[in-house]
């Protein structure tokens, strides 16, 4: 089938596809077209990575837009949303407007109504439905990328409920679900009333195998010699073998620390394969990485990158991750050592994938637990890029014959597990039942159960009693906390319940926040940070060895600031959770006290991405707390707002006004303050030479800052920096010794 054979596309698109090199559709793509994907029919495409799933989605969306419809593309990750928007923007030449939305969970995203294709995370789509986005009922086509993630206990229920709601709002909605090969794709197709395209076809061959001794044994019975010398490890030998043929390698390990250590070691391998031009480009990239954040993690990453290797995990800043991914796609970086998060849809294919660690620590399991076959297959699917690689290889590592046999049985020859709905768990239903009532999708217990009958969970079980039992437990909780009111079988959300749903809060988080704020008229920042840190919506820091004593002492030292009664030390689990939340709160307090980012990452054993994640989550939860305090007419509104601003900007109280000027940030605000410029009003009147000196002679920066502060004439023409006005670079906040504060960290 050729592009010209595809019905319903905008004029010129088939010719454009041919210009892109698509002379003929891949077999799974042709099967999807034959199943009606370009005619508005729902399709589940369960095919391997790199087999053309995205084009299937584009055909559905473009044909839908051509029929005067509107399309939505749902992704699991924010990073993937940006990547897909950039990819879809090539259709703007054909009059198709593309928009992306990932943040601001309490917004209705009205501006997206003018877009033909909207890219968003499942959480954002859920929040848009809750906030009554007017364009949601105009949707004619919805694409769910990585739909097998309904199996994920964190993200899965949101995707599942969101698809059910969108289908309820838009009868006849075309749903295109894209998935890696899973064991029960037919069940997903049944749930979505969709045709199934189930294929194991790939444009280039992928061989899976196990390295043991001096060779890789593949699933097709072939072998490849990769000798490992005495005192040599398997991974460096396999990476060098790939480089000998000009290929790149992805190495999957089970922890951040292992990813960083492996990248450092493999840099010694990749460095020998770099050309002079690559060394120069990598040197520039390393400097760019160092500039992202003033942390040891940033320096370690830069050092590895300079040698052609990198690590990738959730502790990196978003900019770190995007720089690494781009350089790897361009084959400038030769190897990435990553935790499994990189396998979740981000486009980073390589010649060879090495799964070094096939076990991962699981607290509930009580030790190292083997990964699911589906997750391993997702990693292996990254091997082989059409147009660049003649083949793809995925290799697991065995140190003995017994392990070799186990890996073949468990992964190489095994089919991926069937995906299972995680909706019936109480934490998931707590959030989604309130939203379902508040959004008007159900107004009675029976109505709720009827709505839940449209979910994957209902498709997969004949036992309605468990879901009914959990539903009743959740409704009792929602009523007890004044989120819903019941009159017989009828259910209505209260004003508070509507607010909680629109704010995209877990009702248990809202209950914790409301209870805490009711007991304090003027809470301290630490008390508020601790309050939001102990909600289910915040992933708190773990207590490490020695932390219990440290934070027990801090707990009693500052107990008067904490909102709510401190659990007894003899209540082990509750007290441990209380201290873990306190540790998280102390990180936030340090950040809001202008403690250096490098000092924070070292003190708490986290990466810059973790700091940013905690800050963003705290800002969102404190914004929600401010709204709740205002709605309930509590006296803590001002304190909450100030704590929110301090954590948002990462500054002490006196810098809030300055740091709020776009382009200033925490470091520049401190320099301006030390130069005697204390408010945005001062910026409008200050001597320009003083401003220029405080901003280290950066004229363009100074002009932008002055313009953003509202200065009528921000020009720095003919202005010279006042040397005497340069602030003392050794300033340190009172809470830290100056030796820790040679320079203030920032996310500018």
Q: Which 3 state secondary structure label does DSSP give 521?
A: coil
pLDDT at 245: 92
For residue 553, pLDDT beyond 50: yes
CA distance linking residue 579 with residue 429, whole number of Å: 28
Strand bridging mode 215-218 / 206-212: antiparallel
pLDDT > 90 in the chain, percent: 80
pLDDT digits (tens, 9 = 90+) for 447-460: 999 999 999 999 99
| 407 within 8 A of 396, measured Cβ to Cβ | yes
pLDDT at 233: 94
- The maximal CA–CA distance of the chain, rounded, in angstroms, is 78
Question: Mean pLDDT over all residues of the chain?
Answer: 91
The verdict on pTM exceeding 0.85 is yes
Structure-token pair, residue 515? 């209870």
CA distance linking residue 218 with residue 212, whole number of Å: 11
pLDDT digits (tens, 9 = 90+) for 213-258: 999 999 999 999 999 988 889 999 999 999 999 999 999 999 999 9
pLDDT digits (tens, 9 = 90+) for 46-71: 998 888 899 999 999 999 999 999 99
pLDDT at 363: 74
Strand bridging mode 249-252 / 352-355: parallel
CA dihedral (745, 341, 344, 13) positive or negative: positive
Question: Which residues are registered as beta bridge partners of 142?
Answer: 72, 175
pLDDT at 721: 79
CA distance linking residue 346 with residue 463, whole number of Å: 37
pLDDT at 89: 96
pLDDT at 463: 80
Strand bridging mode 195-198 / 392-397: unpaired
CA distance linking residue 95 with residue 203, whole number of Å: 31
Helices (H), 20-91: 27-34, 53-66, 78-88
Average pLDDT over residues 421-430: 91
């Amino acid at each position: 089938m050729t592009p010209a054979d595809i019905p319903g596309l905008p004029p010129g698109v088939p010719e454009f596809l041919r210009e892109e090199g698509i002379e003929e559709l891949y077999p799974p793509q042709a099967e999807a077209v034959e199943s009606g994907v370009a005619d508005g029919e729902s399709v589940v495409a369960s095919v391997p990575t790199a087999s053309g799933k995205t084009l299937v989605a584009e055909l559905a969306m473009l044909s839908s837009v051509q029929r005067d419809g509107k399309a939505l593309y749902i992704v699991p990750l924010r990073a993937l949303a940006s990547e897909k928007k950039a990819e879809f923007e090539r259709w703007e030449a054909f009059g198709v407007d593309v928009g992306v939305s990932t943040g601001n969970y309490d917004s209705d995203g009205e501006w997206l109504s003018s877009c033909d294709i909207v890219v968003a995370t499942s959480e954002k789509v859920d929040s848009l439905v809750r906030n009554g986005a007017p364009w949601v009922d105009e949707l004619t086509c919805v694409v769910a990328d990585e739909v097998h993630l309904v199996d994920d206990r964190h993200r899965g229920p949101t995707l599942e409920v969101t698809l059910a709601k969108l289908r309820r709002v838009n009868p006849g909605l075309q749903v295109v679900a894209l998935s890696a090969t899973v064991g029960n794709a037919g069940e997903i197709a049944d749930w979505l009333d969709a045709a199934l395209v189930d294929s194991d076809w790939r444009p280039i061959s992928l061989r899976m195998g196990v390295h043991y001794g001096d060779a890789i044994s593949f699933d097709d019975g072939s072998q490849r010699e990769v000798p490992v010398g005495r005192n040599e490890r398997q991974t460096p030998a396999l990476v060098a073998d790939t480089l000998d043929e000009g290929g790149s390698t992805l190495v999957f390990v089970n922890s951040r620390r292992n990813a960083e250590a492996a990248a450092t070691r493999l840099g010694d391998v990749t460095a020998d394969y770099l050309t002079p031009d690559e060394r120069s480009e990598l040197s520039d990239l390393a400097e760019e990485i160092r500039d992202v954040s003033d942390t040891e993690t940033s320096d370690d990453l830069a050092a590895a990158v300079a040698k052609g290797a990198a690590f990738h995990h959730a502790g990196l800043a978003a900019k770190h991750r995007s720089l690494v991914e781009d350089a790897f796609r361009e084959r400038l970086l030769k190897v990435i050592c990553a935790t499994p998060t990189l396998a979740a849809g981000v486009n980073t294919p390589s010649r060879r994938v090495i799964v070094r660690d096939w076990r991962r620590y699981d607290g509930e399991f009580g030790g190292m637990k083997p990964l699911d076959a589906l997750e391993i297959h997702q990693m292996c699917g990254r091997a082989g890029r059409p147009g660049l690689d003649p083949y793809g290889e995925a290799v697991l590592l065995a140190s003995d014959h017994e392990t070799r046999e186990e890996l073949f049985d468990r992964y190489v020859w095994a089919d991926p597990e069937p995906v299972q709905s995680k909706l019936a768990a109480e934490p998931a239903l707590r959030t989604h039942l309130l939203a379902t009532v508040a959004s008007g999708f159900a107004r009675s217990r029976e109505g709720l159960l009827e709505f839940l009958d449209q979910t994957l969970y209902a498709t997969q079980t004949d036992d309605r009693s468990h879901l009914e039992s959990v539903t009743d437990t959740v409704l009792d909780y929602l009523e007890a906390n004044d989120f819903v009111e019941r009159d017989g079988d009828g259910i209505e959300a209260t004003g508070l319940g509507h607010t909680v749903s629109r704010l995209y809060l877990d009702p248990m988080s809202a209950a914790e926040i409301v209870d805490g704020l009711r007991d304090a008229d003027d809470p301290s920042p630490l008390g508020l940070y601790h309050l939001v840190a102990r909600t289910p919506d915040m992933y708190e820091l773990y207590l490490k060895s020695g932390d219990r004593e440290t934070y027990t002492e801090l707990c009693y030292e500052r107990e008067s600031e904490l909102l709510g009664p401190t659990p007894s030390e003899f209540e082990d689990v509750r007290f441990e959770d209380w201290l873990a939340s306190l540790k998280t709160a102390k990180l936030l307090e340090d950040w809001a006290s202008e403690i250096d980012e490098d000092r924070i990452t070292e003190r708490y054993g986290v990466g810059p991405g973790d700091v940013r994640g905690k800050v963003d989550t705290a800002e969102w939860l404190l914004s929600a707390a401010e709204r709740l305090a205002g709605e309930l007419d509590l006296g803590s509104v001002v304190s909450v707002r100030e704590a929110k601003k301090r954590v948002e900007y990462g500054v002490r109280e006196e810098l809030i006004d300055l740091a709020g000027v776009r382009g200033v940030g925490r470091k520049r605000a401190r320099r301006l303050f030390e130069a005697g410029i204390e408010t945005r009003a001062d910026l409008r009147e200050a001597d320009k030479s003083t401003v220029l000196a405080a901003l280290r002679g950066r004229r363009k920066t100074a002009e932008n800052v002055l313009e953003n502060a509202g200065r009528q004439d921000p020009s720095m023409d003919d202005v010279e920096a006042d040397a005497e006005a340069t602030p003392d670079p050794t300033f340190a906040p009172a809470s830290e010794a100056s030796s820790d504060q040679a320079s203030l960290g920032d996310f500018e």
